[in-house]
């Protein structure tokens, strides 16, 4: 039997089949993917099966919605990178741009998207023929979207690089504890307390309501612990939207930690009052594919420039 290495051909990933897999996962089912690709569900299924046979790996978990296996996630990352590189080649060659503009997906925490991230994103889109998909996720969880291939880049609190990605420090998003004048009137303990002179007492903080973004939000809990109050002892409301949470604080539903970009203008208008106590700074990082295509590299430059203006250094 011959052992000539020239006879051993490496298995190549077919870009068309890989993109089909990515579309199936994006759309959540073979049927939905078939509509987007203008193919029959049978043809889509055949492409996925062909890809699995070529690579000798299972690509899909056929649940509702479907999800990618670990091998499938790797192929999806390849498909997204290939689409951007192909777009760059088309531009460099001056080929007719009849193909759909490429899509860049970015995972961003809600507070960043509500305060500073949209401006650099808009500047990037104004400079390029591209579609963007913002995947909103808690800053502690955005990195997992990189690992799955759902996102090409992420604003995250994780300094640990996801597989195949580089990490760039952006600065810190700084929060302060604030409440409405009505909340302070109800829960304040006399002149000055709860109006920025000093924080409310531990007794008040254990009885007065706070507002958390969701059940995993730890910002308010961190501030409470600094005031010797167990977070489980204090009542809380859950408002899973940065804009709605700010409105809820203004209306007196409860106190909360808010980014300075949001709280300072509202304080200047007299609609919020600082509760004092320590600020909470959340370090943020830009994670993106290592050796990124030009489009993704330019997006990173826009994001890093905005972060230098809007976030606290260090």
**Residue 81 maps to a domain:** yes
pLDDT tens digit sequence for 11-30: 789 999 999 998 999 899 99
What mean pLDDT do residues 260-275 have?
96
Cα torsion 91, 95, 99, 103 to 10°: value is: -10
**Residue 107 maps to a domain:** no
**Residue 130 maps to a domain:** no
- Return the sign of the alpha-carbon dihedral for residues 157, 160, 166, 168: positive
CATH of the domain at 254: 3.40.190.10
Residue 85: per-residue pLDDT: 83
pLDDT exceeds cutoff 80 at 52: yes
Averaged pLDDT score across all residues of the chain: 87
**Residue 49 maps to a domain:** yes
CATH of the domain at 28: 1.10.10.10
The boundaries of the domain holding residue 58 are 11-99
Q: How sure is the predictor about 189, in pLDDT bands with cuts at 50, 70 and 90?
A: low
- Of 110, 109, 118, the C-alpha closest to 310 is 118
Q: How sure is the predictor about 196, in pLDDT bands with cuts at 50, 70 and 90?
A: very low
Q: How sure is the predictor about 139, in pLDDT bands with cuts at 50, 70 and 90?
A: low
**Residue 84 maps to a domain:** yes
Q: Look at 140-149, 184-193, 199-208, 235-244 and tell me which has the smallest mean pLDDT.
A: 184-193
**178 and 262 in one domain?**
yes
**278 and 179 in one domain?**
yes
Q: How many domains does the chain have?
A: 2
Residue 289: per-residue pLDDT: 87
pLDDT tens digit sequence for 87-103: 778 777 877 655 667 88
């Amino acid at each position: 039997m011959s052992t000539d290495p020239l006879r051993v051909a490496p298995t190549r990933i077919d870009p068309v089949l890989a993109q089909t897999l990515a579309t199936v996962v994006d759309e959540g089912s073979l049927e939905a993917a078939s509509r987007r690709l203008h193919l029959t569900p049978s043809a889509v299924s055949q492409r996925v099966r062909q890809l699995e046979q070529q690579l000798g790996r299972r690509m899909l978990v056929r649940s509702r919605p479907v999800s990618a296996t670990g091998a499938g996630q790797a192929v999806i990352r390849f498909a997204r990178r290939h689409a951007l590189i192909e777009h760059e080649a088309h531009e460099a060659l001056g080929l007719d741009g009849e193909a759909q503009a490429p899509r860049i997906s970015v995972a961003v925490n809600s507070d960043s998207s509500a305060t500073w991230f949209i401006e650099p994103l808009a500047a990037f889109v104004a400079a390029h023929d591209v579609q963007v998909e913002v995947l909103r996720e808690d800053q502690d969880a955005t990195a997992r979207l990189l690992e799955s291939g759902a996102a090409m880049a992420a604003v995250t609190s994780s300094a640990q690089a996801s597989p195949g990605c580089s990490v760039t420090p952006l600065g810190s998003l700084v929060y302060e504890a604030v409440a409405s004048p009505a909340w302070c009137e109800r829960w304040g303990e006399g002149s000055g307390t709860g109006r920025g002179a000093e924080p409310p007492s531990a007794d008040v903080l254990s009885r007065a309501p706070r507002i958390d973004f969701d059940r995993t939000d730890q910002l308010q809990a961190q501030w409470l612990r600094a005031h010797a109050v167990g977070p489980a002892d204090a009542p809380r409301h859950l408002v899973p939207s940065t804009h709605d949470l700010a409105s809820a604080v203004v209306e007196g539903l409860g106190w909360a930690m808010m980014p300075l970009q949001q709280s300072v203008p509202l304080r200047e208008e007299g609609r919020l009052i600082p509760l004092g106590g320590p600020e909470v700074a959340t370090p943020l990082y830009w994670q993106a594919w290592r050796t990124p295509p030009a489009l993704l590299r330019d997006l990173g430059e826009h994001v890093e420039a905005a972060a230098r203006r809007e976030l606290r250094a260090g």
